[in-house]
Amino acid sequence: MPTLNAVTQLLEQVAPPALAETWDNVGLLVGDRAREVKRLMTCLTITPASAREAIDGRADLIVTHHPLPFQPVRQVTTDTTAGRLLWELIGAQIAIYSPHTAFDSARAGINAYLAEGLKLKNVAPLVPVAAQDVTEGAGRHGEVTAPTTLATLARDVKQFLQLDRMRVVGADDQVVTRIGIACGSGGSLLDAAKAVGCDAFLTGEATFHTCLEAEARGMALVLAGHFASEHFAVERLADWLAAQLPEVEVWASRDERDPLRTM
């Protein structure tokens, strides 16, 4: 069986920690590098439901997109949700690894997956990590195969992410030729998308003022939902890890859910 250290090295090949944003908390967050990993669960976020699933499933490692802990902690007590989850997982000897923004920006990461799912051409990062590297960096942008409309783009996003509905900014017949992409809460990359000539921007969620700014600039905005824009990728990551670690039982969380629902 591989050790936790061996698994973390594998994950660092997929999402090099150097790609993470400076404010982020990525890498091995909880665990003993010498312990063996027999069972591994991926998830978007460690919640009471996904933590219980990992404990009941006797996981040795959780690979969670969103870090736990995210902010520095002074105490680990059950007085807070984060503290309680850490206490329970440490008590069950379950390690925690998070690739987060390194996975967002990786060559084969979430934003690259989204661009691939929309069949974009000439894809490049919105903010490359280096001028000479057009494969890694924050966000993505690319050309559509033929000019389309916001209504068609929304339909394609819904089909790829298996959504019933989503929110958009712009007219249904607004012409789209170049799309910017930033999974999760990607509103901060709106300026970068505009600077490279995008007339549409796909992200998970954005503030009201970001929506107004997109409208004022004449950019179509597609909001797929934070959960939907990233969750599919942790399922892909589970499939990849299972192929790389055939001796390890790997699964993507079956119990975590988008906390938002439409009434």
pLDDT digits (tens, 9 = 90+) for 172-194: 999 999 999 999 999 999 999 99
Mean pLDDT value across residues 196-205:
97
Q: Over 80: is that where the pLDDT of 2 sits?
A: yes
Instruction: Grade residue 133 by pLDDT with cuts at 50, 70 and 90.
Output: low
Residues 51-107: pLDDT tens digits?
Answer: 999 999 999 999 999 999 998 888 899 999 999 999 999 999 999 999 999 999 999
Q: Is the pLDDT of residue 130 over 80?
A: no
User: Is residue 131's pLDDT more than 70?
Assistant: no
Smallest CA-to-CA distance from 109 within 120, 99, 118, 119 is with 99
CA distances from 42 to 25, 54, 68, 230 (A): 17, 9, 13, 12
Q: How many CB atoms within 10 Å of residue 191?
A: 11
